[in-house]
Structure 1
Amino acid sequence: MGVLSIEPMDLEGPLHWALPPSKSHMIRWMVLAAQSSGTVALHFSQEPGRDVSSMAECLKALGAVIECNDSEWVISGVGRDGFKTPVSTLNCGNSGTTARFLMAMAAGMSETVEIDGDDSLRGRDMSVIAGVLRDLGCSVSRDTLPLTVAGPLESGTTVVDLSSSSQALSAMLLAAPRFPSSVTLETVGRSVSRGYYEMSFEIAENCGSQNRFSEDVNEIVPWEVTVPKAVMMPTEDSLLPIAMLISELHGASLELEIGGETSPVIVGLASQSAVLDLRDESDLICPAAALMAIGNGGRIIGAAHSRGKESDRIGSTVYLLRTFGMDAEATEDGLDIPGNQSPSRPEIPVDSHQDHRLAMTAMALASSCGGVVSEPEICAVSDPGFIPRLLGLGD
């Protein structure tokens, strides 16, 4: 286990900051392109995260051809031949999205596929997508990794609970081109992370899908995937609050490279809203809580589902703030955070809990007061350039 020691940095603005490509967009485009008979070039400016690379390696094992260059990845699909049975276990690394999408894709095949990941991913719950696949006639060995999926799935109706994650719905939609028949998904629960399934339906539509989201019942019909010649990837704007935190800690302005629209939640965070609802953006909880702590304080709500991420992000965020001499109280669905706090150097190394967003938030705080962060390499899951970019601000 590595550690990174960061001494307090004296930063003056403007701070130039770039964001990596959106891993959610890239993974979805790769999944559909791999099922097509065509070729698409995905363009971007910064290095994609390790989660994206994990999906790329798995798709290669299924027969897709992926050429990775500095500013573009070119994906050629398997066409009418379909996916081949992988000769070894599909390793999803740290990516829950990759694992759930691959489970649904394996359900469209007739051979048993084994799926695994790192220690952190092995602790995450796969029961929702596993239950959906079992209801449709597949054999799924376990509700956590490592597991096996044996298809093919059968036509039928099942229930998808959207109250903890929307990934099962996205997985079934994006794997549908290789399904032997249509399936019907009845959605229940107060949906969270709605932007992600909306993204899935939009990208699928851009690739020829006639499936449209319905609040109650979704009939998912297979289709022949068609892909454009090239697509520009938006940036990973869920990492923007970490750059905002660095800016606020040092009282320095930011110069940002952003490719995409800024979400209303991030706008609310920038304007120091007293209540921040993370129903659809629970990934922001760590840096958002730190920003509120050094600002006017406030309350985070709607984030109960963040407990099922790479770490229990409600509990780990409280841990992080307290390690830096600040405070917050966990609630049922979020945090109560006093304002006007200042971070102080931790007396012990900060445990990143194998959570890239927790680790990056810890490093941002350490840039102000100093500190040692464990497993810094986990940042590469979403942003391989984060550490050199942060340390380079002091040059």
Structure 2
Amino acid sequence: MNHIRLNNSNFRVKGKLSVPGDKSISHRAVMFGSLAEGRTVITNFLRGDDCLATIDCFRKMGVKIEEVNGKIIVDGVGTTGLKEPEDILYTGNSGTTARLLLGLLSGLPFYSVLNGDESLNNRPMSRVADPLKLMGAKIWGREHDNKLPMAIRGTKLSAIQYELPVASAQVKSALILAGLLAEGDTKVTGKIQSRDHTEKLLQQFGVQLQINENEINIKGGQTLQGTDVFVPGDISSAAFFIALALIVPGAELVLENVGLNETRTGIIDVVKAMGGDIEIETIQSEGESYGNLRIKYSDLKATEISGAIIPRLIDEIPIIALIATQSEGTTVIQDAAELKVKETDRIEAVVTELKKLGANIEATKDGMIIHGKSKLNGGQVKTYGDHRIGMMLAIASFISSGEIILENPDCIKISYPNFFEDLNKIAQ
């Protein structure tokens, strides 16, 4: 069995670290660079499995993408230059790749098939396919066009006005890309704001968007111009080291060049509400905001997490749950049913595995309740093939009284290829 043994409870946590580039921005930089006219140069690209799948898909559609001196060079072909792929477009474990490609491929004049790994092929796609069909898209898939593999016969799309039933950056982005290729003006609205990397990056590529609070208008037929893109460190990856510094006695870490996009910084707000010692030391605000974070061990107290903040920290909830086990009082997480349709059912996975280690935690229909403080023990735990579950359990090894045996740690490479090497850098 593929597993790793972790016994880190005697280590001090000190030092500086630069986490890998933001996964969401890395995906989009390759996609938009491929659609642009001219060359795009991407610095600090995340070379994780998910983002490499995006590169592979666009290479199969005729885009020249190379790595030179650590940078990704994309020679764009324009919105009309992509070619019909001769093979299936394999998106691996990446929901971002699959869902955004559904929007793009629906408006291109050729046939294509999307497929993913076992986990992705069981995640819902109708939330993207259904509104695309309203634009005229021709999409077929398993379970009434809800599951991969999916076939797309590209066609001319018509603009629509669509209100998102849930806050989803992937659905929103798919519709924006389809709107870019459609006739007319497409309007996408939502009750709660989701991450806005697509909007910010498209504007950097020269696309005109009208943004009014939670309403986005995009005019079809626009062209993109190649540009230079710097990818800040991924706050979702930084979250594991934020947690580590907060819960290991005597710890102090500086995380450099972390993305601070306001639609993603919910974890910083929650940490501060729990009494965590976290400071933003420097900040760059041109394009995507980023800066350095200093985090120190803290006496934490419980909090309640629900409502509008959930989309701003949905991927960080597994590690927030671990933080909550080390906080005085009862932490309640609600309105997070979206966790059930991630790489695995993250509510069930978090509760099951933390219970194995001795946490006092219970699942609810749309979240979880965590009673702290808990002393964590060693034990054998599973990742469920989910990178964020795997990293959360690895961080738990620093505060567990015994050895943790982590099954299937390789899935962590999806978003953080050098995760264990970085852990070793700051464990003294």
TM-score for the superposition, normalised by structure 1: 0.90
Match of 2:314 in 1: 282
- Quote the Cα distance in structure 1 between the aligned partners of 2:370 and 2:116: 34
Match of 2:292 in 1: none
What code does the residue aligned with 2:377 have?
Answer: S
Match of 1:315 in 2: 348
What code does the residue aligned with 1:327 have?
Answer: N
- Quote the Cα distance in structure 2 between the aligned partners of 1:221 and 1:91: 28
Match of 1:377 in 2: 410
C-alpha displacement of 1:199: 2.1
Match of 1:152 in 2: 155
Match of 1:29 in 2: 29
C-alpha displacement of 1:59: 1.0
Match of 1:82 in 2: 81
What code does the residue aligned with 2:324 have?
Answer: M
Post-superposition Cα deviations, 1:27-63, rounded to whole Å, max 9, x if no partner, equal 112111101111111111x853221111111111111
C-alpha displacement of 1:231: 2.0
Instruction: Return closer, same or farther for 1:167/1:321 CA change in 2, 3 Å cut-off.
Output: same
- Quote the Cα distance in structure 1 between the aligned partners of 2:79 and 2:202: 18
Structural RMSD (CA)? 2.2
Contact map agreement 1:123 1:144 (CA 8 A) in 2: yes
1:343 to 366, 376, 382: 376
Contact map agreement 1:132 1:160 (CA 8 A) in 2: no
Contact map agreement 1:152 1:180 (CA 8 A) in 2: no
Task: Report the more deviating stretch, 98-107 or 179-188.
Answer: 179-188
C-alpha displacement of 1:70: 5.5
Instruction: Return closer, same or farther for 1:15/1:216 CA change in 2, 3 Å cut-off.
Output: closer
Kindly, what percent of the aligned residue pairs are identical?
A: 24
Asked if 1:171 is matched to 2:174, the reply is yes
Query: Which structure carries more strand by proportion?
Result: 2
Secondary structure, aligned partner of 1:336? strand
Task: Report the more deviating stretch, 256-265 or 56-65.
Answer: 256-265
C-alpha displacement of 1:352: 0.7
Contact map agreement 1:4 1:372 (CA 8 A) in 2: yes
Q: How does 1:192-211 map to 2 (within 5 A)?
A: 194-196=193-195, 198-211=196-209
C-alpha displacement of 1:366: 2.0
Aligned positions, number: 386
C-alpha displacement of 1:315: 1.6
Contact map agreement 2:179 2:186 (CA 8 A) in 1: no
Asked if 1:298 is matched to 2:301, the reply is no
What code does the residue aligned with 1:285 have?
Answer: I
Q: How does 1:1-395 map to 2 (within 5 A)?
A: 2-44=2-44, 47-69=46-68, 71-79=70-78, 82-142=81-141, 143-157=146-160, 159-163=162-166, 165-177=168-180, 179-182=181-184, 184-185=186-187, 187=189, 190-191=191-192, 194-196=193-195, 198-214=196-212, 215=214, 218-228=217-227, 230-251=228-249, 252-261=251-260, 263-272=265-274, 274-277=303-306, 278-296=310-328, 297-346=330-379, 349-369=380-400, 370-394=403-427
Task: Report the more deviating stretch, 281-290 or 213-222.
Answer: 213-222
C-alpha displacement of 1:363: 0.9
Secondary structure, aligned partner of 1:259? strand
Instruction: Return closer, same or farther for 1:283/1:75 CA change in 2, 3 Å cut-off.
Output: same
- Quote the Cα distance in structure 1 between the aligned partners of 2:410 and 2:360: 26
C-alpha displacement of 1:314: 1.6
Instruction: Return closer, same or farther for 1:176/1:157 CA change in 2, 3 Å cut-off.
Output: closer
Where does structure 2 lack aligned partners over 5 or more consecutive residues? 275-301
Instruction: Return closer, same or farther for 1:371/1:304 CA change in 2, 3 Å cut-off.
Output: same
Contact map agreement 2:7 2:404 (CA 8 A) in 1: yes
Instruction: Return closer, same or farther for 1:362/1:175 CA change in 2, 3 Å cut-off.
Output: same
Post-superposition Cα deviations, 1:102-137, rounded to whole Å, max 9, x if no partner, equal 111111222210001111111100001111222222
What code does the residue aligned with 1:82 have?
Answer: G
Contact map agreement 1:303 1:334 (CA 8 A) in 2: yes
Instruction: Return closer, same or farther for 1:380/1:291 CA change in 2, 3 Å cut-off.
Output: same
- Quote the Cα distance in structure 2 between the aligned partners of 1:65 and 1:176: 25
